[in-house]
Amino acid sequence: MPAYTAPVAEMRFVIGAVTGFDRVRALPRFADVSDDLLAAVLTEAGRFGSEVLAPLNPVGDRLGAELHDGTVTTPAGFIDAYRQFVEGGWPTLKFAAAEGGQGLPRVLSTAVAEIWTAANMAFALCPMLTEAVAEALARYGSPALKAAYLPKLITGEWAGTMNLTEPQAGTDLALVRTRAVADGAHYRITGQKIFITYGEHDLTPNIVHMVLARTADAPPGVKGLSLFLVPKFLVDGDGRLGERNDVRCVSIEHKLGIRASPTAMMAYGDQGGAIGYLIGEENRGLDLMFTMMNAARLAVGLEGVGIADRAYQRARAYAFARLQGRDIAGKRRGAVPIALHPDVQRMLLAMKANSEAARALAYFVASETDVAEEHADAEQRRASLRRVDLLTPVVKAWCTDVGIAAANIGIQVHGGMGYIEESGAPQHLRDARIAAIYEGTNGIQAQDLVHRKVARDGGAAMGELIAGMRAFDEIMSGVNEPAAVAIRERLRRAVDDLAESTQWLTRHADEPQRISAGAVHYLELCGIAVGGWLMARAALMALRQLAEGTGDTAFLHGKLASVRFFAETAMVTTSALKAQFVGCGEALAGLDTDRDL
């Protein structure tokens, strides 16, 4: 079975040449982040991913997490891997030095997180959620709560979870029933939560749950939700673990994929009420939870990138090793590697090009987050934040769709062997499938994009982004290399399609059913257009480095091949997506649900 190798050269190229990293490095906090430091961090992360995490991926899939008498055990090797993960300081990368972190850019920690996901997605879910909890606590927690819990969350010594939905609620959090009753300086929490990733496990001595619940006088609906920190073990004044809190794992789910990651049903208050501490103000819980949810959505989008790359690596290795058929070009005799067959080349390049476009999008949003958080100029911060808010649902949905598609193609490249578990290819598809569902299904992300991110501001933020994409067309003028010509021509059409679709959307903003019907097509159009714009930037930099004689020639030519393939196969679909976006509303108009479905 082929080993995982982190695509460090590709990651460095995207960070340095595509995301606008010079803007990040110009920020005082990141002034010391050199190219050598980037390379060292990514190389060491790649080693840890390939040597420690990746070998556990099939083990975790085969053994899964297990629940016995309320205690969850992770598969063999996970405890030791997590210990090494914490000792290596990996959870601390993006947190400020004042909080006990390493203070590195988010775009770099994003690349590192891709490595964890590609190597072992089930393992990576635990630190991903812990980071989200730490960010929310750092922003909204009281000084006392931060002093007691934040240091160990940042280092990864303790883990964190998000507790949102319940059996009767699903995505509709207005139906949450978990209760919080004031009891002196804390609250007593009672209720059940479902689908809690790493809700119970043996990797850390304590687990810090962030729980949505209703106080006694809370208004109905989502406006009555408050956010509470509920630890598995209570903590005394010296930061030491005390008695077990009234929270327990009732069951864990038997899942299609990510089997090593325990997905728990949690019960709060079976013995009178779990002790919880209010985060922020009462009835603002959902607003505060969105800090974690948005961080998680970006991280989930990155899961699509990681799985796409891992599936590509596996399929490529198989395609070069598998001898079958004759060389259609007639240049070789006898059986040849299937990588020489045009249809297999098409599949491999589809996996490679789409994953590279998705990676560029995810890293671009991470770099914009760095600027939004650290830039000295308020308008620059606001402009970057607008792009982050606009593109977060696109990263979550489009990148996870790319991951699923790549994993599916990977099985096809393997042929019959791809349907056999021992090949390793099926696990990638099974693991990837959840990413389009959790943290808000991709359909919900599309609704968020069209209603909250585009219609609400009359298309202003999207208009800013489109203007920047159109400006790049002039930069590429006069470049005659085939890949650059192809990407420029397709990018111009894709941006026009996005602009025209956005204009139609804003004209029909008062017809929510109409724009909701085709929202997924609008989101996909946006992902392809923005991904194409970033691939165009990659092409321009690759050509520049080839002309200067800098960089790895083979890598740069490979990049140009990816760019041209993306232009000629993905970007040509934007006009059809525009038609689907507009046409869906027409097709569903007057639909009789009982009769027609």
Cα–Cα nearest to 53, from 7, 106, 8, 117: 117
Instruction: Provide the 10 A C-beta neighbour count for residue 102.
Output: 17
Helices 378-414 and 342-374, axial angle in degrees (round to 10): 160
67 domain residue, yes or no: no
369 domain residue, yes or no: no
Last residue of a domain, one of 256, 283, 310: 283
426 domain residue, yes or no: no
Average of pLDDT values for 27-49?
Answer: 96
* Beta strands at 225-231 and 274-279: parallel, antiparallel or unpaired: antiparallel
Contact 212, 287 (CB under 8 A): no
Measure Cα distances from 136 to 209, 288, 539 in Å. Answer: 12, 7, 38
Cα–Cα nearest to 171, from 405, 390, 447, 454: 447
Last residue of a domain, one of 252, 283, 314: 283
- 474 CB-near residues (< 8 Å, 6+ apart): none
Residue 330's pLDDT band (cuts 50, 70, 90): confident
pLDDT reported for residue 126: 98
- The catalytically annotated residue of 439, 481, 524, 568 is 439
192 domain residue, yes or no: yes
Straight-line distance from the first to the last Cα atom of the chain, in angstroms, rounded to the nearest whole number: 45
With a cut of 70, say whether residue 483 has pLDDT above it.
yes
In angstroms, rounded to a whole number, what is the distance separating the alpha carbons of residues 292 and 136? 6
pLDDT digits (tens, 9 = 90+) for 533-577: 999 999 999 999 999 999 999 999 999 999 999 999 999 999 999
With a cut of 90, say whether residue 411 has pLDDT above it.
yes
Side chain identity at 202, as an amino acid letter? D
CA atoms within 13 A on the CB side of 451: 16
pLDDT digits (tens, 9 = 90+) for 158-167: 999 999 999 9
pLDDT digits (tens, 9 = 90+) for 107-152: 999 999 999 999 999 999 999 999 999 999 999 999 999 999 999 9
374 domain residue, yes or no: no
In angstroms, rounded to a whole number, what is the distance separating the alpha carbons of residues 219 and 225? 8
228 domain residue, yes or no: yes
pLDDT digits (tens, 9 = 90+) for 352-390: 999 999 999 999 999 999 999 999 999 999 999 999 999
Q: What is the dihedral of CA 507, 511, 516, 520, to 10 degrees?
A: -10
Average of pLDDT values for 2-25?
Answer: 94
Domain housing 580: 442-589
List the CATH number of the domain containing 160. Answer: 2.40.110.20
- DSSP secondary structure letter of residue 157: S
Active site residue 439: yes
In angstroms, rounded to a whole number, what is the distance separating the alpha carbons of residues 433 and 352? 19
Q: How many domains does the chain have?
A: 2
With a cut of 80, say whether residue 237 has pLDDT above it.
no
In angstroms, rounded to a whole number, what is the distance separating the alpha carbons of residues 172 and 221? 9
pLDDT digits (tens, 9 = 90+) for 161-190: 999 999 998 778 888 999 999 999 999 999
Total-model pTM? 0.96
Q: Which residue matches tokens 């998680």?
A: 296
Cα–Cα nearest to 377, from 34, 30, 136, 26: 26
In angstroms, rounded to a whole number, what is the distance separating the alpha carbons of residues 345 and 475? 31
Measure Cα distances from 480 to 484, 540, 568 in Å. Answer: 7, 11, 16
Instruction: Provide the 10 A C-beta neighbour count for residue 1.
Output: 13
Last residue of a domain, one of 283, 304, 338: 283
107 domain residue, yes or no: no
165 domain residue, yes or no: yes
Contact 323, 377 (CB under 8 A): no
